[in-house]
Amino acid sequence: MNTFYNFVTGPLAWASFAIFIGGSIYRIWSMIQLAKQKEAAFISYMSLPHALRSILRWLTPFATLGWKENPALTTATFLFHACLFTLVLFTPAHEVLWDYAFGISFPALPQTASDVLTLIVIGACCFFVHRRLTNAQVRYVSTGKDWLALGIATAPFVTGFLASQQFGNGQIMTLLHVLSGEAMLIAIPFTRLSHALFQPLTRAYIASEFGAVRHVQDW
Amino acid sequence: MSILDRKIEDTELNRATASLTPDRIEQVINSVLQGETGARLKAYSETCMRCGMCAQACHYCISHDMEPSYSPVGKVEQTMGLILRKHGRLTPDEVYGMAQLAYTECNLCRRCVHYCPIGVDTGYIISTVRRICHKLGVTPMYIQDTAHSHSGTMNQMWVKEDEWVDSLMWQEDEARDEFPGLRIPMDVEGADILYSVIAPEPKFRTQLIYQAAAILNHVGADWTMPSTPGWDNSDMCMFTGDFEMMGRLKRCHFEAAQKLKVRRIVMGECGHAFRSVYDVGNRWLGWKNHPVPVVHSVEYFWELFNEGKIRLTRQFEEPVTIHDPCNIIRGRGLMDKLREVTRHLCKEVVEMSPNREHNFCCAAGGGVINCGPPFKSVRLEGNRIKADQLRDTGVKVVVAPCHNCHGGLEDIIHHYQLGIHTKFLGDLIYELMEKPEPE
């Protein structure tokens, strides 16, 4: 068991990071190459000020028409993403790993706060599942890929919470948490989770068209 | 529900799909996907999270009680989604449905972009579907007729060269009764302005050329119209997916201006033509911007009012509302100028909600009205929300500076018995401006 644990938290973790970073760089690089090769005319319209303006606007809760008219989804989406990034960086157990692996040390969240944020993420995921099942427009277009992405994004938080609560066999739960976290890292460049990589690019493009060419807001 | 559950018989779609085979379909689709699409389609198809937020943006979806097959993402799923899932191997029936959906259930208005966190441009995806349909030879009959007219005559309405010149001379003749000395100058080299219109003006709404001539005469403009092809700025080929012909049309339009060495082109009150010259046709030709400055008449009227060149006898008494045409508002940001001009002309403006770049489309644009009578009910039932919006203002006059919007709004007004009249800005200016005393 210990050998497997050491493998999962050692070589497999490094491999996951390598695939995540390498895969992400490759996906972004190849997408930009494809754009240069096939759509160079459209790259020529890119406008950094309009791109940044739009990205910041869409990063502000309730600042856009889409966010305003979908208050529940907006709340869930922002809470999900904000808590996700906070937990990845500031969970006490993660802080130890950051220190151990990279020698980076910074203040961690109190365990209770970390648990509350994890529950918020799980709550948001439950909302996404519920919405995907009950909202007619979403159900109509949901495919296996959407469920896979949601499952991959949810698993690390459920297992993380259970591990922190010492649920069942603590070591197995921690193992599952690490494995699901690694699965999420690997999945980001190659599944719908790739919106994390491409959203800034697609947003920048449409923002440039709307702002610099059409002289209107894209929100 | 899917598009095939609401199939509408169209002579040309029936004829064209009957000759298709799965092999031919697959070959054409993949030639477009591999040859013409790139990062945009790839990124959109991979990263759309199927959140469904765009459903609330679409007038078709709202007007059908949020039926999911009318939502933007639902429409993409039934067309490009189907293509990508089946790697282009569609049945002729599926191609029929795809064409019906792409040409008649999406106005390419891009309102859904305002709702999408990813920034997916559904208008681009549906335009690509139309491009595939065009390459397969599958387009609805009426709009294809206009595309053929563009090919045959370089205008949308089968107007022959002598008929065009004759129409201008006829309008000049008529107008000289009211405005002695008025000219509709043709082929004046070095004029300040080349005034271009869409072909339905000489064909059906010739009084608009009369009005434009009256206004340009009133402000003392140095203007001209070309007597040769290139006078029509419209572009149905952009909407059928016939991009080769779209390029020829735009080149012809700009060459008419260049040959006459005018300083700029002023376009009549039309929206889609404006989209074609600054967004689509110019890029197809490899021009980052258009080679001759182009202004829409909203912008031109705004200049004239700011320069004090239009002298009004009075303001329009009745309250009016403003319809924001997608292609010049969401497409070119003319919403403030449109309001300033309307406020010069009218005493009271009651705004629709939502408005400006968040406006609801007229459901005629994007070539939808041009698909003709078989699909008229698609527009009427698909835009109940616009009827509600208009009714809620309580006014009886709507200002809409776009031909397609006029067609779409008039049909909706009639269908939902709203008792509202549509006006172009040119209608109001002509009605309210100082005119010579009758002799």
Sequential pLDDT tens for chain A (219 residues): 678 888 888 889 999 999 999 999 999 999 999 999 999 888 999 999 999 999 999 999 999 999 999 999 999 999 999 999 999 999 988 888 888 888 888 888 999 999 999 999 999 999 999 999 999 999 999 999 999 999 999 999 999 999 988 877 778 888 999 999 999 999 999 999 999 999 999 999 999 999 999 999 999
Q: Under an 8 A CB cutoff, do A202 and B358 touch?
A: no
Helix or strand or coil: residue A55?
helix
Angle at B148 between CA B147 and CA B149, to 5 degrees: 90
Residues of B in contact with A214 (CB under 8 A): 279, 330-333
Global ipTM: 0.94
| B119 with A42: Cβ contact below 8 A | no
Beta bridge partners of B195: B266
pTM: 0.95
Which residues of chain B neighbour A195 with C-beta distances below 8 Å?
47, 49, 118
B77-97 confidence digits (pLDDT tens): 999 999 999 999 999 999 999
Tens-digit pLDDT profile for residues B124-168 = 999 999 999 999 999 999 999 999 999 999 999 999 999 999 999
Per-residue CA distances from A73 to A65, A76, A131, A203, B69 (Å): 13, 5, 9, 19, 21
CA distance B376 to A115: 57
CB contact under 8 A, B121 and A45: no
The distance from CA B108 to its chain's CA centroid, rounded to whole angstroms, is: 10
H runs (alpha helix) in A10-143: 11-38, 40-43, 48-58, 65-68, 71-90, 92-102, 111-134, 136-141
Chain A nearest C-alpha distance from B69 (Å): 7
User: Does the pLDDT value for residue B346 go beyond 80?
Assistant: yes
Distance from C-alpha of B156 to C-alpha of B369, rounded to nearest angstrom: 14
Q: B424: alpha, beta or left, given left = phi > 0 and alpha = psi -120 to 50?
A: beta
Contact A202 B329 (CB under 8 A): no
Closest approach of A10 to chain B, Cα-based (Å) = 31
Contact B38 A34 (CB under 8 A): yes
Q: What single-letter DSSP state applies at residue B232?
A: B
Residue A164 has a pLDDT of 87
**What CA–CA distances, in Å, run from B92 to B10, B81, B135?**
14, 16, 14
Task: Tally C-beta pairs within 8 A across A and B.
Answer: 144
Q: What is the pLDDT of residue B166?
A: 97
Residues B211 and B430 sit within 8 Å (Cβ to Cβ)? yes
Per the prediction, chain B carries an average pLDDT of 97
Task: Please give the Cα distance from B425 to B215 (Å, whole number).
Answer: 11
Distances (CA, A) of B22 to B8, B188, B196: 22, 54, 43
DSSP B65-121: TT-GGGSHHHHHIIIIIHHHHTTT---HHHHHHHHHHHHHS-----GGGGG-SS---
The token pair that represents A83 in the structure block = 């808590």
Chain A: give the shortest CA distance to residue B288, in Å. Answer: 8
Which tens digits make up the pLDDT trace of B193-237? 999 999 999 999 999 999 999 999 999 999 999 999 999 999 999
B421 and B396 in contact (C-beta within 8 Å)?
yes
Spatial CA neighbour of B219 closest among B434, B374, B1: B434
Helices (H) then strands (E): counts for chain A: 12, 0
pLDDT by residue (tens digit) across B393-437? 999 999 999 999 999 999 999 999 999 999 999 999 999 999 998
Q: Residue A90 — φ and ψ, nearest 5°?
A: -115, 5
Using alpha carbons, list the distances in angstroms from residue B298 to B64, B221, B267, B274, B426.
Answer: 33, 16, 9, 11, 9
How deeply is B288 buried, as exposed, middle or buried, from its count of CB atoms within 10 A (0-12, 13-18, 19+)?
exposed
Token readout for B325 is 């045409």
